[in-house]
Amino acid sequence: MVYLETTYRGYLTYRQDGTRHREALVVHRACSGVVVNPDGYVLTTDDCVRPDPSDLLADALHTLAGQRRIDPDQVDEFVAATRPTAVFSGSKAGEPPSTTVYGQLGVADQGRTTAPAAPATVVSTQSAGEDALALVKLQRSSLPAVELAADPTPSRDAEPVVLSYRPRGGDATSAEYAVRAGSATVTGRDPARLRLAGDLRTEDRGGAVVDAWGRLLALLDVTPATAGGPAVAGVTAARVADFLAAAGVPNTVSEVDLAYRDALRDYFAGRFSAAVGKLDALLRDAPAHSWARTYRDRARERLAVDGDAVENAGTWSRYLLSAVAGVLVIAAIGECRRRAWRLLRAAQLRAVAAGSGPGGEGTVGDHAVADGDTAATTETGPPSG
């Protein structure tokens, strides 16, 4: 996954009298992208890097509203009133705003234009109806790439994973962005599009819809919310393959990435010594591969504590048995807590009933002690175990 940030620098010109706003406005649009070729080719939506001029104008007006400290409740009204009378263009009338694109991997800093951010260029776009795709080339190489799914049409009950960049920690004011993994439900499909439902927003555009093996099923495209909510869909891997073929860019995975995946198979199978050896060899060829270093260190720790699952089956089986025993103990404790809660609740209700009567002070609504206990119990709820 790649965090893509496109920056537009231009001026507002007012149609009524041709006057131009004195200061340039800078508009940032953040999107996600998916590496489809290790030589730096990143797939995203056309709207991420080449938005409709009217949408870009709206973004510029929102920026101006912020500079003028317009009340947040009045910003939409300001944009709607000004939009028909203004144009967002370059330094000369009729020219588009100047544009720069940068991409970052891992945790990304908004607005960064120096390393580790890499400059990028848009090499191909396609705006054919709903199949609006764009191909961007980062000035980076040996990148981990996604594989296109051979069967990009999952069943309606499938729940693929959606990967996209959002502000870190869910804080909209955060200047850091990180990849978020969420679930989605397929509500419909055709050869070109997957219709999706889930916690998906406009900011997720350009994200990856992947299957359980991490293969790309579709590229996420989210249009702004309407009366019925945002329109969420994904351009299928079949359409993506056609787009890449037309651009002359094959979907390939690097030798380093293949070696990394091979080492992970050993790691998750419990063959830690084999994983350490393969990750050490990988890091000699690609010392900047941070995830390989992380899993190499984890494999060393697991090897020292548990040994290999294959070479030390006794130790591994004892580990599994202890884990199962722990689950049973936790379940037993949870059941005891649930029974205790039910008994306590029944006692409280009996106490309330004993002190209540028509017009008396001990009714449920006025029973201070019981109400206090009940409120506390209701707030925490029965232990879930």
Identify whether residues 262 and 341 lie together within a single domain. Answer: no
- pLDDT 10s digits, 175-220: 899 999 988 888 887 777 888 888 888 889 999 999 877 889 999 9
Q: How far apart (Å, rounded) are the C-alpha atoms in residues 2 and 155? A: 28
Whose CA is closest to 261, among 316, 207, 208, 213? 213
How many other C-beta atoms lie within 10 A of the C-beta of residue 18? 8
Pair 76, 33 in one domain:
yes
Three-state DSSP at 227 gives: coil
What residues make up the domain containing 341? 314-380
Q: Please report the pLDDT score of residue 320 as a whole number.
A: 35
Q: What is the pLDDT of residue 92?
A: 83
Position 337 scores a pLDDT of 54
Q: Is residue 295 part of a domain?
A: yes
Residue 120 domain-assigned (yes or no): yes
Same domain, 47 and 94: yes
Q: Is residue 259 part of a domain?
A: yes
pLDDT score at 157: 57
Answer yes or no: do 112 and 19 share one domain: yes
- Domain membership of residue 289 (yes or no) is yes
pLDDT in tens, 261-272: 899 989 988 999
State which residues of the chain have pLDDT below 70.
127-131, 151-158, 172-173, 223-231, 309-385
pLDDT value for 253: 87
Domain edge (last residue) among 72, 104, 138: 138
Token reading at 105: 């991997």
pLDDT of residue 3: 97
User: In this predicted structure, what is the pLDDT of residue 175?
Assistant: 87
Residue 39 sits at φ, ψ, to 5 deg, of -80, 15
Whole-number pLDDT of residue 174? 75
**151, part of any domain:** no
Q: Residue 112: name the closest of 101, 123, 122, 121 by CA.
A: 101
Q: What is the pLDDT of residue 107?
A: 92
Structural domains counted in the chain: 4
Judge whether 208 lies within some domain.
yes
Pick the closest to residue 148 from 137, 138, 133 (CA basis): 133
